[in-house]
Structure formats: C-alpha cells, structure tokens
Chains A and B, each alone.
Chain A
Amino acid sequence: MAKITLDKLRHSYMANPSGPQDYALKELNLDWEDGGAYALLGPSGCGKSTLLNIISGLLVPSEGRILFNDRDVTTLPPDQRNIAQVFQFPVIYDTMSVFDNLAFPLRNRGIDEGRVKARVEEIAAMLDVTEMLKVRAANLSPDNKQKISMGRGLVREDVNVIMFDEPLTVIDPHLKWKLRSKLKELHHRVRATMIYVTHDQTEALTFADQVVVMQDGEVVQIGTPVDLFDRPQHTFVGHFIGSPGMNVLSCEVRDGGAFVAGHQVSLEGAVTVGAGRTEVGIRPEFVSLSATGLPATVRKVSDLGRHSVVEAMLGDTRVNAIVEGAVPGQGEAVHLTFRPDQTRLYCDGWIASEKGRAA
C-alpha cells in the first residue's frame, strides 16, 4: 500500500516537443492517499491511459517524477514497482488452471508453495471463484476471466497500487453492475490504493471516492462525485458528467448581469470576468418549465420512465430540461426558468462565478 505522488509530471510521445500541444500529458501535480479509491475519467485520447502507463512503469515520463511513499520510482520497471494492473481485455494464461493463474505472480517471485496455496485460496474465496480453481482458465466466461485478472492483482499482499484500465468494457451489461459492486467490496476489504480508468461516468462515480476528470492531457477537476455534479470547475466536466450533461449557453455579460439570447439570467453569485468567451452553465435538473421566463420552443421530448427530458430551442441554442409529471408537446411554446443558485458563469471554459451573494 502506498501514497502516490505525481510531481511536475509531463509526457510527450515526440522526441522534441516544442509547445504544450505536443504533450499527451500536460503538467500534473497530484497526491493520492494510501488506500484511496480513485477514478481517472475522460474521453478516449485524453491521456488517461498514458498516465496509467506512467504509474505502472510501462512508460517513462519525459519530465517530472513519480513517488511511491516518497520514494522516487520514475525509472523503475513495472516488476520492481510492486503494482498490479487489470486490463481492458481480460489477460489470463490460457493453458493454466485458475489456481495456477492466481499463483503465477507469487511463484514468479519465489514464494514457497505453502504460502502460495493459502494466499490463492484466500483470494479465490474473496472473488467467489473457489469452485473454479481446477478449471482451465481458457474455459471461463469473460466476466470470470476478468475476475481472475483482478485476482492476480490482489494476490500479492505488498502491492502498492492496483490499477484498472477500463476493466468492464467486454463484460455483459447485467454483469457489469455485479462486478462493479464486487470491486467496491474488495476495496473495502483489502484497503489497497486503487486507480480506476474509465470513460464511463457511472463506473467512475460509483467506484471512486475521488474522481480525476481529464481532457486533452490536462486534469480539469479533481473532486468527489458530488463536487463534480454540483460545481463543475470547467464546462467540459459539466457536459461530460450527468445524463444529459450540463447546458452550456453562450451569454453576454454587461452591467454585472448575464444575458442569454437577450434575456437576463440570474447567477449564483458574484462574477469575475476577463476578456474571454462567457457562458452560462445550468444542469437540466435545475431547469424548469413555467409561466414566465425565457421563451423557447419544444423540439423533442424523450420519456425516460421516471422523468422526461424536454429539449427546447432558445433561439438557436438547445436547452435540456428534466421534467417530472406532465410534459408539453412537440412544437409548443414554453418558458424556461433556471434555479439561480445552480446557475454558474464560465469564462473561457473555467468557472467564473462564486457561490453566495447574488449578482
């Protein structure tokens, strides 16, 4: 178990990067506490796998250091870092039995057979695979194969960190949920530092205590699932998290107020606006249909069972609203109101309003 520190970490796949655009991973300073459950969330190509490979030692960063318990491991190969990794596609050794698969990392390290047996049985019990120990690993179903790859990570008692690289990609939807709760349960039992990489917000939010959201090689926000939902620091986070994501409407700021399509919108608090592009961000959960407010036309209504998503056009911009109960018909004229304490202002993508005092 270990605390992980990323110190001024940067990485470029090019030999001579000339500017920030050449970096797959932009400068990063981060502390991960021992025993925490973290998620790295972001779309494909945002640099999360690069970061993961740097932590596991499959990749040496161009700049900066990585420390496990304050010990510099930047240039150490994976086998000397004492880490474990579970990959997108289950990696199992086909020709071996489940038992031999689980024992493999221990036997490679020369641990005596008695200890190996005890440890494998303990992990197998934890994963509910005891009755499969004698089966050839190639005969397992994908979700059980993935369990075995997890087991190979958990079997070593001294691992510093266990990393999961989109581990549920190939698992059937109805088993995803089961495996995810298993993972959460395992985290509580073994208390190892775990890092979970995914582009699926549900997986990230349900697994992690702290979620690191990445975009274009940059960390845009680190926070608890509640933080990310409540106060996205960047429009990207707002848009990426939530279903549907946050409405981001371009606006004009004048006389201390924000105007969307010519109508004033009240914000959560004071704003500090620079010269950049300004936008208003409001989650669909906090948009309501009412008698007064911003005039809009309903373009589409999707009934999701418990509630409906109403897609309304405010001039040329689309605004989603989550509505419970009666919904308007398509083409109907409606008025939208935004809950002021949930209405944020963003400048060049970053949050520019403060909580509290109304503007």
Chain B
Amino acid sequence: MRKVNQKGWLFVLPVVILVAFNALIPMMTVVNYSVQETFGDNVFFWHGLGWFEDILKSDRFQAALGRQAFFTFLILIIEVPLGVIIALSMPRKGFWVPVCLVTMALPMLIPWNVVGAMWNIFTLPDIGLLGYFLNHVLGVTYDMTQNPTAAWITIITMDVWHWTSLVVLLCYAGLVSIPDAYYQAAKIDGASNWAVFRYIQLPKMKQVLTIAVLLRFMDSFNVYTEPFVLTGGGPGNSTTLLSIDLVKIALGQFDLGPAAAMSLIYFAITLFASWLFYTLMTRHDVK
C-alpha cells in the first residue's frame, strides 16, 4: 500500500480552528436555537422544524419579506443604471477626474447611522431643510414620519445617495481600463454611440458590473442601520424590512427560536439569490 503523508492536516489546522470559532460555531448555535423551544431558566425542548414552519407561514414574515424584496428591487433598478450613466459621463482624463472621484467617494465614507440621522433631520417637515422647503415653500405635503409613501421615497433616495457611488466607481474602473484604440477602431468602423456602449463599454464593464450588482444586492437585502435610524420601520410597519423585523423578534421580544429560524431563512434567501445573480450574469463568460 502507498504510504500517505498525513502531516498536511497540521498545516490546515489553524485555518480550520479560525473558521470554526468565527463562523461555524456561532452559526451552529443559531441552528441549535432554531430547533428548540424554551420557557426560560435555560431549559430547552426539542421543537423540530416547527419554528421554520411558523415563520414561513406567518403574515408578518411574508409582509416583511415582500417589503424587503421591493426595497432591493427598487435599489437595483435605480442604482445600477444610474451608476452606469454617471460613470459613462465622467471625464476619462484631466483635472476633473480626481474632483469627480473624490466627490463620488464622499457619501460612502459617512458611517451608516450618521447617514440615517442626517437624512432624518434633513427631511423632517418642520425643521429639516428639505422637509421645510417642500412643505412650506413648495406647498407639497410631505411627511415621512406620517406618510408611508413619503417614508419609502425617503429611504430609497437616501440609499441611492449613499450607495450609487459604489456602482459608479466600479464601472468607472472598468471603463478607464479600455484602451483608446478600441474607441478609435469603433470610430473608424463607423459604430454609433449605442454600438460603442453595447459592444465595447458594456462587455468591458461586465465583470465589475457583476460585482457591483452582487454587492448592491447583498447590502440592500441586508440593510438595517440607515432605515432603522431614519424611520425605525414606521410609520406603522410600512418600512419594517426583514432585518428590522428580525431584530425586533430577537432582541425586542427575545423569541430566540423564531428569531434563529428566521435568521437561517434570511441567510438562505440571500445566499440563493446571490448565487442566482452570479450564475446568470456569468453564464456566457469565456472559460
């Protein structure tokens, strides 16, 4: 029999331990809670898949998931095209390049809860710059603390303001990597602006755009801080996204089992959707 050197396991061990302690064990704790019921005093009973069933069937979860999906859908449909358009209209060389880049990067440097607080104050109807202007100068009734539509418009605008830059910067990086020769060749070949975009810019941006879409999907699907600081999930439950609802159940009501089950469902959805996006966007790639 061939002798197998087993020393290799020793080299993998540190990584295994590291990953176990910062990901696997915490994750398994959540799995553990999700299949048990407790009445306090650290006494637990086996509950099987009961919590999962309850969560999936509950109107509250379905509504939050619906709001979450709607939020993410709006974010992607606005930020991705807008980011591409802004990146396309940015200068390729000269004095304005750094100016544009820094301006674009600024919103992303602001901490998430500060963004929430900023937009909260900015849009308050009586004291906020925007809120006051809309209500008292333009005469439009706009109150994101009372009106669900206004609240939605505000959280979407805030996220677009905060994160479109990410798409812009990634796309811009893809665009500047295109050699001038491509544009010159296209000019000589008589290509229209649309053809240049379709056959040169878009293919060259595709890889970074895939990453941009994935990042924006994951971040917007898991968003918590900004909408929580801005609206706290209100008015009513109109802006209670999945993450906000999850925190309410886990820390507000301290329902460990349902919260754990919901976390796992949440995680599974994010994972599956990311996989789907990635597979769909890279299916034509050259091996």
Question: Are A78's CB and B179's CB within 8 A?
Answer: no
User: Nearest-CB distance from A82 to chain B (Å)?
Assistant: 9
Which residue from chain B places its CB closest to the CB of A95 in the assembled complex? B203
**Which of A89, A91, A94, A152 has the most chain B CB within a 10 Å cutoff?**
A91
A78: contacting residue among B187, B203, B284, CB under 8 A:
B187
Question: Are A91's CB and B185's CB within 8 A?
Answer: yes
B184: contacting residue among A87, A95, A96, CB under 8 A:
A87
Is B188 on the interface with A (CB-CB < 8 A)? yes
Is B189 on the interface with A (CB-CB < 8 A)? yes
Question: Are B187's CB and A89's CB within 8 A?
Answer: no
Contacts of B156 in A (CB 8 A): none
Question: Are A85's CB and B199's CB within 8 A?
Answer: no
Task: Name B176-202 residues within 8 Å CB distance of A.
Answer: 179, 181-182, 184-185, 187-192, 195, 199-200
Question: Are B188's CB and A79's CB within 8 A?
Answer: yes
Question: Are A89's CB and B188's CB within 8 A?
Answer: no
Is B110 on the interface with A (CB-CB < 8 A)? no
User: Nearest-CB distance from B188 to chain A (Å)?
Assistant: 5
Contacts of A83 in B (CB 8 A): 188
User: Nearest-CB distance from B193 to chain A (Å)?
Assistant: 12
Contacts of A84 in B (CB 8 A): 188
Is A190 on the interface with B (CB-CB < 8 A)? no
User: Nearest-CB distance from B196 to chain A (Å)?
Assistant: 10
**Which of B184, B195, B284 has the most chain A CB within a 10 Å cutoff?**
B184
A152: contacting residue among B189, B200, B203, B284, CB under 8 A:
B189
A104–B199 Cα distance when bound, in Å, is: 10
Q: Count contacts on A: residues with CB < 8 A to the other chain.
A: 25
B203: contacting residue among A58, A91, A94, A108, CB under 8 A:
A94
A136: contacting residue among B192, B195, B286, CB under 8 A:
B286
Is A350 on the interface with B (CB-CB < 8 A)? no
User: Nearest-CB distance from B120 to chain A (Å)?
Assistant: 45
Q: Mark A305-348, 1 if CB is under 8 A from B, else 0.
A: 00000000000000000000000000000000000000000000
Question: Are B181's CB and A91's CB within 8 A?
Answer: yes
Contacts of A87 in B (CB 8 A): 181, 184-185
A270–B185 Cα distance when bound, in Å, is: 51
Question: Are A85's CB and B184's CB within 8 A?
Answer: yes
Given the interface pairs A93-B200, A94-B203, A96-B199, the reply to whether A85 lies near B188 with Cβ below 8 Å is yes
User: Nearest-CB distance from B61 to chain A (Å)?
Assistant: 42
Question: Are B179's CB and A95's CB within 8 A?
Answer: no
Question: Are A77's CB and B181's CB within 8 A?
Answer: no
Is A189 on the interface with B (CB-CB < 8 A)? no
Which residue from chain B places its CB closest to the CB of A149 in the assembled complex? B185
Task: Name B198-223 residues within 8 Å CB distance of A.
Answer: 199-200, 203-204
Q: Mark A128-156, 1 if CB is under 8 A from B, else 0.
A: 00000000101100000000010010000
User: Nearest-CB distance from A97 to chain B (Å)?
Assistant: 12
Given the interface pairs A89-B179, A89-B181, A94-B203, the reply to whether A108 lies near B188 with Cβ below 8 Å is no
Contacts of B179 in A (CB 8 A): 89, 91
User: Nearest-CB distance from B88 to chain A (Å)?
Assistant: 18
Task: Name A57-115 residues within 8 Å CB distance of B.
Answer: 58, 77-79, 83-85, 87-89, 91, 93-96, 104-105, 108-109
Question: Are B192's CB and A95's CB within 8 A?
Answer: no
Q: Mark A4-15, 1 if CB is under 8 A from B, else 0.
A: 000000000000
Is A56 on the interface with B (CB-CB < 8 A)? yes
Question: Are A95's CB and B199's CB within 8 A?
Answer: yes
Contacts of B284 in A (CB 8 A): 95
Question: Are B187's CB and A91's CB within 8 A?
Answer: no
Which residue from chain B places its CB closest to the CB of A83 in the assembled complex? B188
Which residue from chain B places its CB closest to the CB of A159 in the assembled complex? B188
Task: Name A36-73 residues within 8 Å CB distance of B.
Answer: 56, 58
Question: Are B286's CB and A79's CB within 8 A?
Answer: no
Which residue from chain A places its CB closest to the CB of B199 in the assembled complex? A93
A140–B179 Cα distance when bound, in Å, is: 19
A330–B40 Cα distance when bound, in Å, is: 97
Which residue from chain A places its CB closest to the CB of B285 in the assembled complex? A138
Contacts of B191 in A (CB 8 A): 104, 108
Which residue from chain B places its CB closest to the CB of A110 in the assembled complex? B190
A89–B184 Cα distance when bound, in Å, is: 12
B286: contacting residue among A56, A93, A139, A149, CB under 8 A:
A139
Contacts of A149 in B (CB 8 A): 185
Contacts of A109 in B (CB 8 A): 190
Question: Are B185's CB and A79's CB within 8 A?
Answer: no
Q: Mark B257-287, 1 if CB is under 8 A from A, else 0.
A: 0000000000000000000000000001010
Question: Are B182's CB and A79's CB within 8 A?
Answer: no
Contacts of B286 in A (CB 8 A): 136, 138-139
A78–B180 Cα distance when bound, in Å, is: 14
The residues of B with any CB-CB pair to A shorter than 8 Å are 179, 181-182, 184-185, 187-192, 195, 199-200, 203-204, 284, 286
- Further pairs besides A85-B184, A109-B190: 12, Cβ < 8 Å: A56-B184, A58-B184, A79-B190, A87-B184, A88-B181, A89-B179, A91-B181, A94-B204, A95-B199, A138-B286, A139-B286, A152-B185
The residues of A with any CB-CB pair to B shorter than 8 Å are 56, 58, 77-79, 83-85, 87-89, 91, 93-96, 104-105, 108-109, 136, 138-139, 149, 152
Pairs A–B under 8 Å by Cβ, sample size 20: A58-B184, A77-B187, A78-B188, A79-B189, A85-B184, A85-B188, A87-B184, A87-B185, A93-B200, A94-B203, A94-B204, A95-B284, A104-B189, A104-B191, A105-B189, A105-B190, A108-B195, A109-B190, A136-B286, A149-B185
A-B pairs, top 5 by smallest CB distance, nearest first, are A108-B190, A87-B181, A91-B185, A105-B189, A79-B190
